[in-house]
Chain A
Amino acid sequence: MNAPTRTGVPFSFGRLLVVAQNTFLEAVRQKLFALLLLLAIGLGASAQLFREFNFGSSELKFIADFGFGAMIFFGSTLTIAATAQLFFSEIENRTALTILAKPIWRTEFIFGKFLGVFAVVGVFCALTTLLLAGLLFARESALMEAHPEAFEHGRIIHYADVFVAGGLQWLKFGVLAAFTLLVASYSNTNLFTVIMGFFVLVVCHLQYLARDAYAQVASVPLRLLVRLLGYVFPNFQVFNVADQVGMGAGLNHLMALRIGGYGLAYIAIIGVLAVYSFRNREI
């Protein structure tokens, strides 16, 4: 089926929100969401038990690392799997044909899908961040009572930073969801989309290494090619401000704002590209 004609039907945020709401409800009803959420919460909470294995960093830093580790790992899995699954369920069940036969823009459909997934991942990030903040607060309070001399200058953890770091992870998952939708708009199968989604995740995390490695090479075409690839893929490492949580120094909030702007701009651009590619697709 080719792109529907939109003659006489203006773009509607209402319809977009209906798609988003349905996507959200469908996602939270899936076992995958509940399973990953439980695993992330369970792993984050078990950081207390793993303290015995901690040799290098301070206890609070270890808990923060562990909690954010669980959020990043399970959050990435949830984002990629849920985006691919929710997109392809419409294609495979032929419900996309029914929806797009109605006066609904493909833009509304794609952004609705995106917003639904983004909301699900938002719930996931909010719950895991709250749990982590609670764990850190409880442990820090206990440590303050046991070793007051180590907390002469007050609490070490800046709790606002924990939420900022959680929020930036959410934005990163948003960029990842948009990228997965872009891949899905080309792909024919769910599996291919999931695999490519993970590739994108790895490439976006490690692209800075390629930029560094090839910055010095003698071959100009190779250097330019890698630089171009560095521009094509967003830098996901920039969102990982969680490393600064628990280190004593607070986050630079101007920097966090810049990163937030970077994430939102990428979500908008990749979302538009997903619409462009979906409009050229035959369902």
Chain B
Amino acid sequence: MDLRLVRSGAVVAGVLALAGLMLRPLEAPAWRAMRAQQPALKLESIQGALGQGVTVGLLGGFRAIVADLFWISANAAWDQEDLPATQTLIKLVTAIDPRPLFFWINGANMIAYDMPHWRIRAAGGYDAVSAAEQNRFDREQAEVALKLLQEALAQHPEEASLYICKANIQLNRLKDTAAGAESYRMAAAQPNAPYFAGRIYGELLKRMGRKQEAYVWLKQFYLTLPKPGSAQATPWQIETAMADVVLERIHELERELKVPKEQAFKG
């Protein structure tokens, strides 16, 4: 082996390592800030999909189009009711491009709402599969969907629509009102929350028999809503806030809780 070449290679590697060390103070703050804005740059976000073309997508900068093409494949697999392929492709799409909520929400809904039916049909149909077995399929698929949504929330921690999707799966598939209510509460707490999240949380508290809690919540919630005539709100915001409906529910709760007239909420 050429000793001069080895020496020269060692010098180059040494200088590069030293340069990397010296330039780290320049790189590290920028890299930290970039990662804070792009959770997809974390190892755990892409390790599940490495070796499946993800690196090509990431390196080429064509993340959006690669994810879209895999989403078409996921829909083709969904059309064939191919559960393993659909689930794998949903995971792959969200790994390639975790930014759009569309993939997370639609993927979770496919897993939670469609796949239990596929499994029942594959097992012989609704008449052949016992109710207990059907419930097991529902529960298992809902858990997979909730796990996917948990990953989504790690990427988009302030996204109300993800909490709402989670709440609906907990309510409709797991029949878990307490968990669904908690997810609606979380949705209502997010900055871009739709007004109905707070209303539904109040309604779920009432349904669980926690009327006093519902009453306190709705009173606080009502104060945050734009009212008709409010100059700061758009007509659409006023319409969707439905402050009059919330006030009506507060009065209903006052009647049920027998709140004295003089202590009644005036708004």
Known: A50-B65, A261-B26. A266 touches B100 (CB 8 A): no
Determine if B12 and A53 form an interchain contact, defined as CB atoms under 8 angstroms apart.
no
Q: How far is the CA of A62 from the CA of B67 in the complex (A)?
A: 11
Q: Which residue of B lies closest to A75 (CB)?
A: B61
Determine if B20 and A234 form an interchain contact, defined as CB atoms under 8 angstroms apart.
yes
Determine if A259 and B30 form an interchain contact, defined as CB atoms under 8 angstroms apart.
yes
B161 CB to nearest A CB, Å: 14
B42 interface contact, C-beta 8 A = yes
Count of chain B residues with a beta carbon within 8 Å of a chain A beta carbon: 49
A241 interface contact, C-beta 8 A = yes
Determine if A238 and B34 form an interchain contact, defined as CB atoms under 8 angstroms apart.
yes
Interface residues of B in 38-90 (CB under 8 A from A): 38, 41-43, 46-47, 55, 58-65, 67-69, 71-72
A24 CB to nearest B CB, Å: 26
A263 CB to nearest B CB, Å: 10
Q: How far is the CA of A270 from the CA of B103 in the complex (A)?
A: 42
B41 CB to nearest A CB, Å: 6
B253 CB to nearest A CB, Å: 36
For A235, the chain B residues whose CB sits under 8 A away are 27, 31
Q: Count the A-B residue pairs with Cβ separation under 8 angstroms: how many?
A: 140
Interface residue range, chain A: 35 or more
Q: Which residue of A lies closest to B63 (CB)?
A: A65
Determine if A72 and B61 form an interchain contact, defined as CB atoms under 8 angstroms apart.
yes
A61 interface contact, C-beta 8 A = yes
B143 CB to nearest A CB, Å: 25
Determine if A262 and B8 form an interchain contact, defined as CB atoms under 8 angstroms apart.
no
Residue in contact with B16 in the complex, picked from A53, A237, A261, A273, CB distance below 8 Å: A273
Q: Which residue of B lies closest to A68 (CB)?
A: B61
For A199, the chain B residues whose CB sits under 8 A away are none
Determine if B55 and A202 form an interchain contact, defined as CB atoms under 8 angstroms apart.
yes
Q: Mark A234-261, 1 if CB is under 8 A from B, else 0.
A: 1101101111100001001001001101
For B13, the chain A residues whose CB sits under 8 A away are 232
Q: How far is the CA of A259 from the CA of B25 in the complex (A)?
A: 11
Q: Which residue of A lies closest to B26 (CB)?
A: A262
Determine if B61 and A56 form an interchain contact, defined as CB atoms under 8 angstroms apart.
no
Q: Which residue of A lies closest to B18 (CB)?
A: A231
Q: Mark B1-42, 1 if CB is under 8 A from A, else 0.
A: 000110011011101111111011011011101100110011
Q: Mark A176-212, 1 if CB is under 8 A from B, else 0.
A: 0000001000100000000000000110011011001
B99 interface contact, C-beta 8 A = yes
Determine if B12 and A266 form an interchain contact, defined as CB atoms under 8 angstroms apart.
no
Q: How far is the CA of A205 from the CA of B63 in the complex (A)?
A: 14
Q: How far is the CA of A72 from the CA of B119 in the complex (A)?
A: 43
Residue in contact with B12 in the complex, picked from A72, A182, A201, CB distance below 8 Å: A182
Determine if A237 and B61 form an interchain contact, defined as CB atoms under 8 angstroms apart.
no
For B20, the chain A residues whose CB sits under 8 A away are 230-234
What 4 A-B pairs have minimum CB-CB distances, sorted nearest first? Answer: A56-B100, A231-B20, A69-B61, A69-B62
Residues of A within 8 A of B (CB): 50, 53-57, 61-62, 65-66, 68-73, 182, 186, 201-202, 205-206, 208-209, 212-213, 228, 230-235, 237-238, 240-244, 249, 252, 255, 258-259, 261-262, 265-266, 269-270, 273, 276-277, 280
The 9 listed contacts between A and B (C-beta, < 8 Å) are A232-B20, A233-B16, A234-B23, A235-B31, A261-B26, A265-B23, A273-B16, A276-B8, A276-B11
